[in-house]
Amino acid sequence: RVYPVKNPIPYDTAFCYGVPNGAKKATNADLVVYITANEFCEGGYTLASAIGCDWDQYNRPIAGDVDFCIEKIDVKNSAVVPSSARGITDVAIHEFAHVLGFSSADFPFFVDPRTGKPRTAKAIQ
């Protein structure tokens, strides 16, 4: 059974790095994804990172941010080099999966569709 997101989607961007504070609602959507770019990235080979920013009453993501490290993108003559473009596409798909909930932080919120119960037991407090 599908439970549609109520419209407009009210979301809090406080946890999204680089997303403007004025952006607070979206209509006719189930998920809002911001694409941002950052010149100053953490060391190593990180090309992008992603995070869910807000979730609905069913713990489904309704807002997220994919942030690209522009210093790692190979650009010549104001165009992305084809070999770099393939890598960027693969990384973008991977990062969108994180926004959709495919991360260890979100796994506890997965629900068994047959029972409607969480697949992961809640931590003892």
N-terminal to C-terminal alpha carbon distance within the chain: 31
Q: What residue segments make up the domains of the chain, in order of their start?
A: 9-109
- The reported pTM is 0.75
Token couple for 80: 């992305």
Contacts of 105 (CB under 8 A, 6+ apart): none
pLDDT in tens, 7-21: 677 666 666 766 666
pLDDT in tens, 13-61: 666 766 666 666 777 788 888 888 887 677 677 888 898 888 887 788 8
- Find out whether 25 is annotated in a ligand binding site: no
Residue 17 and residue 94: Cα distance in Å, rounded? 18
- Find out whether 94 is annotated in a ligand binding site: yes
pLDDT in tens, 66-95: 988 887 777 776 666 666 777 888 889 999
Is the model more confident about 80 or about 114? 114
Tell me what pLDDT residue 99 has: 93
Q: Among 32, 89, 95, which Cα is nearest to 64's? A: 32
Tell me what pLDDT residue 124 has: 55
Active site residues: 95
Tell me what pLDDT residue 23 has: 60
- Asked whether residue 125 carries a pLDDT value surpassing 60, the answer given is no
